[in-house]
Homo-oligomer: A and B are copies of this chain.
Amino acid sequence: MVAIRLDEIDRKILAELQADGRMTNVELAKRVGISAPPCLRRVRTLEESGLIRGYHAEVNSRELGFEVQVFAMVGLESQAESELSAFEERCREWPLVRECHMLNGEVDFILKCVAPDLSSFQQFLTGELLTTPNVASVKTSLVIRGAKDEPGVPFDVLEERMSRTA
């Protein structure tokens, strides 16, 4: 992973691919204002530099049978680094846990989970999460409804900052 100097075209490419990751290179080139070959080279460079981590189809979880989404706040008994890593590793192994972030404040971790239904989640909660060694407390909150769910970052904020510092 090498630091890369991005120009405006690169940022446009990132913004476009974040919005539509399956766009053809020809279309992308047209939108950012260069021809196809240099555009493809830039995309490859962005991928190799790690600025683009991958491409994902966004699926409709609910329609696919994952009716339930839950945030879980987890507190641990011990916050020793080895214990923190051990818990993180557990989270990586649980398919129902989609995100795990270590937080500051009273709570140690926040987990975003999905499940086919409430009983599946309860089963995971009582059978897995709560029985994990070193887990002191878990507070769960069901998602009643989703109001916004945008992946990635707001590139317009980035552009603003660039123009201000330029």
Q: State the A residues within 8 Å of B (CB).
A: 1, 3, 14, 17-22, 50-61, 63-66, 69, 71, 88, 91-92, 95-105, 107, 109-110, 114, 116, 139, 141-154, 156-158, 161
Determine which of B17, B50, B141, B145 lies in contact with A110 in the assembled complex, contact meaning CB atoms within 8 Å: B141
From known contacts A55-B57, A58-B55, A101-B69, infer whether A157 and B18 are also in contact, taking CB-CB under 8 Å. Answer: no
Task: With a 10 A CB-CB cut-off, give which of A51, A55, A154 has the most chain B CB atoms.
Answer: A55
Determine which of B14, B101, B139 lies in contact with A71 in the assembled complex, contact meaning CB atoms within 8 Å: B101
Q: Which residues of B contact A104 (CB under 8 A)?
A: 141-142, 144
Interchain nearest-CB distance for A130 vs B (Å): 17
Interchain nearest-CB distance for A108 vs B (Å): 9
Q: Which residues of B contact A105 (CB under 8 A)?
A: 139, 141-142
A59 and B21 CA atoms in complex are apart in Å by 11
Contact present for B99 and A152 (CB under 8 Å): no
From known contacts A103-B141, A103-B143, infer whether A61 and B96 are also in contact, taking CB-CB under 8 Å. Answer: no
From known contacts A57-B18, A58-B55, A141-B103, infer whether A63 and B91 are also in contact, taking CB-CB under 8 Å. Answer: no
Task: With a 10 A CB-CB cut-off, give which of A96, A116, A157 has the most chain B CB atoms.
Answer: A157
Contact present for B157 and A95 (CB under 8 Å): yes
From known contacts A55-B58, A88-B147, A148-B99, infer whether A50 and B63 are also in contact, taking CB-CB under 8 Å. Answer: yes
